């Protein structure tokens, strides 16, 4: 048994993204790959597919407490943690994700494997093997909410010890995502990322053949048409999305 949970973190104000997200997920991931699938949210609006377990958080508290209240209920040893605007446009490589589980099982000191290469610090990576590389845990962006396979207990611990902040703020250094890197250093958490020669996409990350997705479909609440013009155009047409309601960047 793989013992992998899928965790989707979302909010009801983004319900207009849900149809495309869930249907693309259904199309590109085998129905039995994940041991269990969860959605963390404030209100499901009766729109979440039946094969997901809904875990509700309090919308009146900050992200850290929202997420912690939900992930504490996840019992699977491993989890893939993504957001609702990580829309797949091709098949997840299930064999490679399964092989990543084996890597985590055989290495007590490695806590996660990110499915894509980041672009902020773009050199000097030590190889774990041909396509896996160690992340610099002394850098500011060691912890990011990019698609990744995690040891669930480590992700719980980061949020338990992390600061009471929202995931992102205009003052970036006072966001949970930024401050969580300090927690990771205190815990001496180590992580890897996969890279198979994929092209760089924008300034901050590369594409992923492991989890081929739009990262992210929403940028500051607007549809991300500039970085993913081809992929987003296909999604917009397929799901009849009126991009005028949100606007686009």
pLDDT tier for residue 168 given thresholds of 50, 70 and 90: confident
- Domain housing 161: 4-238
* Structural domain includes residue 215: yes
Tell me the CATH number at 113: 3.90.550.10
* Structural domain includes residue 138: yes
This prediction has a pTM of 0.96
Average pLDDT over residues 132-152: 93
Residue-wise pLDDT for 216-245, tens only, equals 999 999 999 999 999 999 999 999 999 999
The two tokens of residue 102 are 């084996």
* Structural domain includes residue 94: yes
The two tokens of residue 233 are 């155009």
* Structural domain includes residue 244: no
* Structural domain includes residue 243: no
Report the domain count for the chain: 1
The predicted pLDDT at position 204 comes to 80
Task: Name the residue with higher pLDDT: 173 or 234.
Answer: 234
Residue-wise pLDDT for 10-56, tens only, equals 999 999 999 999 999 999 999 999 999 999 999 999 999 999 999 99
* Structural domain includes residue 247: no
SS3 205: strand
- Residue 186 Cα distances to 68, 73, 159, 180, 190, angstroms: 19, 25, 13, 10, 11
Average pLDDT over residues 168-182: 84
pLDDT tier for residue 147 given thresholds of 50, 70 and 90: very high
* Structural domain includes residue 18: yes
Task: Name the residue with higher pLDDT: 62 or 141.
Answer: 62
> DSSP string spanning 65-126?
HHHHHHHTT---SEEEEEETT-EESS---HHHHHHHHHHHHH-TTEEEEESS-BSSS-S-PP
The predicted pLDDT at position 224 comes to 96
* Structural domain includes residue 79: yes
């Amino acid at each position: 048994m793989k013992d992998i949970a899928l965790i989707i973190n979302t909010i009801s104000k983004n319900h207009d993204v849900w149809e495309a997200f869930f249907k693309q997920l259904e199309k590109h991931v085998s129905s039995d790959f994940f041991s269990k699938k969860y959605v963390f949210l404030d209100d499901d609006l009766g729109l979440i597919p039946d094969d997901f377990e809904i875990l509700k958080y309090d919308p009146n508290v900050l992200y850290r407490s929202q997420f912690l209240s939900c992930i504490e209920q996840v019992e699977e040893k491993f989890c893939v943690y993504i957001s609702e605007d990580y829309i797949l446009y091709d098949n997840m490589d299930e064999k490679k994700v399964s092989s990543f589980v084996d890597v985590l099982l055989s290495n007590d000191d490695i806590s996660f494997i990110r499915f894509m290469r980041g672009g902020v610090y773009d050199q000097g990576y030590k190889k774990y093997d041909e396509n896996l590389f160690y992340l610099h845990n002394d850098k500011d962006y060691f912890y990011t909410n990019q698609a990744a396979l995690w040891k669930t207990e480590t992700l719980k611990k980061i949020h338990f010890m992390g600061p009471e902040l929202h995931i992102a703020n205009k003052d970036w250094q006072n966001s949970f995502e930024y401050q969580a890197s300090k927690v990771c250093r205190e815990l001496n958490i180590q992580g890897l990322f996969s890279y198979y020669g994929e092209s760089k996409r924008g300034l901050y990350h590369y594409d992923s053949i492991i989890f081929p997705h739009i990262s992210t479909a929403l940028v500051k609440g607007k549809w991300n048409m500039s970085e993913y013009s081809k992929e987003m155009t296909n999604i917009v047409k397929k799901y009849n999305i009126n991009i005028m309601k949100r606007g686009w960047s």
